[in-house]
Amino acid sequence: MIPVTCVQCGEIFEIGEDFAGATEFCPACGTLNDIPDSELSEAPEPATTEIFSAVVVDTPPRSGIPAGLWWTILIGAIGLFLIACIMLFSDNWESRNVQALSDATNRGDVLMADEDYAGAIGQYRQVIDTVGHRSIESAFILHLIERAREGEVEANNHLHSPPPSAAQPQPAAATQPNIDVHLALESFQRDYEAFGPFVRDHPVLFQDKKGNWRRRQYFVWQAAYDPPSQSGQPKILLRYNCSSNITEGHPDRQDAAADDHFFEDESPKELHFQTQFEWSSGKWFILHHEADPEPDASPSVNIRPSLDDFYDIERDAFQAAPIPA
């Protein structure tokens, strides 16, 4: 008999000498083994690498996240945390949030005029919660916070006050001013929210000093206004910043009208605008405009020609007109 050691599982079995030089399956694991010649009847020692290989194959696979991936996740999380801290506590927090704070305060005022006191409280509370315990330097944001706090108190008083007695109805004439204020605020807020996109979507065509045709596109940001008083003719002072881009010059007017490639204007990069509106006869009228360039802007730049075009766009945006004489 010839002793045979299985190359896969190490099982030792015997087979007749007639099978010398042939192959036979291991009775334990079924692996095909070479049968040595009868002269080499001694069973060779199984190779260490083969036994080790069999052990490795039978070892259950490891589970879990590799250590390298854990470190990558940890470092990434720390980086995101640092970026969030920088964004929340950096010096430009006020400039990044002033528009949202102003919009929330204005919406609260509109809801107050519409007697939706619960909705107004939600908008005022959004302003207060967004600011939190931050130290604010902007006088405008401080003013918004004060408006939000006063508005929240007033809305809470209305919300929890008992309804007026039926025995003491309010005179009809006394409610008319409130209706006018509500219509004024509703109209202005609607146009105010669409003001920036409206200006951007209405570039103007003009001729430069060399007689070439160009298009100018305006941009508006950081728009804000104070609500009108509850008595008298409603008036609103709108404040915002504005800049513009222009196209290259074209000898032909039609070529300029089709050019949508705008680049930085030669005018000051930023202008501070103030426009005084008054509500009269069911529509807004413009009392006057003011435009001041940045302090570091070149005084030699003449901004008046482009402002006339811009004021026309502003009047269209608010469906307003100059105050009648």
Q: Which residue has the higher pLDDT, 245 or 30?
A: 245
Please tell me which residue, 40 or 9, carries the higher pLDDT value.
9
pLDDT single digits (tens) 257-273:
999 998 877 666 678 89
Parallel, antiparallel or unpaired: strands 2-5 and 32-34: unpaired
pLDDT at position 46 is 53
How many angstroms separate the CA atoms of 32 and 223, rounded? 84
**Secondary structure element (H or E) that encloses residue 221, with its range:** strand 213-225
Residues composing the chain: 325
- Among 43, 36, 32, which Cα is nearest to 9's? 32
Burial 131-153 (b: 16+ CB within 10 A, else e): beeeeeeeeebeebbebbeebbe
Which has more pLDDT, 59 or 133?
133
Q: Are 101 and 129 in contact (CB under 8 A)?
A: no
Give the pLDDT band of residue 125 (cuts 50, 70, 90): very high
| Torsion region of 8: left, alpha or beta (phi above 0 gives left; psi -120 to 50 gives alpha) | alpha
Mean of per-residue pLDDT scores for the chain: 78
Which pLDDT does position 286 carry in this prediction?
92
Determine the Cα angle at 226 with ends 309 and 127, to 5°.
Answer: 115
Rounded Cα–Cα distance for residues 105 and 9 (Å) = 79
| Residue 137 pLDDT > 90 | no
The fraction of the chain above a pLDDT of 90, given in percent, is 20
Residue 90 has φ and ψ, to the nearest 5°, of -75, 170
Q: What is the pLDDT of residues 144-181, one digit of tens each?
A: 898 889 888 888 888 887 665 554 555 544 445 566 77
180-211: pLDDT as tens digits: 777 788 889 889 989 999 999 999 999 988 89
3-class SS of residue 220: strand
More confident residue, 307 or 53: 307
Q: For residues 113 and 185, give the distance between their C-alpha atoms in angstroms, rounded to a whole number.
A: 8
Report the C-alpha gap between 101 and 72 in whole angstroms.
Answer: 37
What confidence tens digit (pLDDT) does each residue in 66-108 have? 777 777 888 888 878 877 766 655 557 887 888 888 888 888 8
CA distance 194 to 313: 12
Distances (CA, A) of 213 to 134, 227, 303, 304: 50, 41, 18, 18
Question: Residue 302 in contact with residue 268, Cβ under 8 Å?
Answer: no
Strands 321-322 and 283-293: parallel
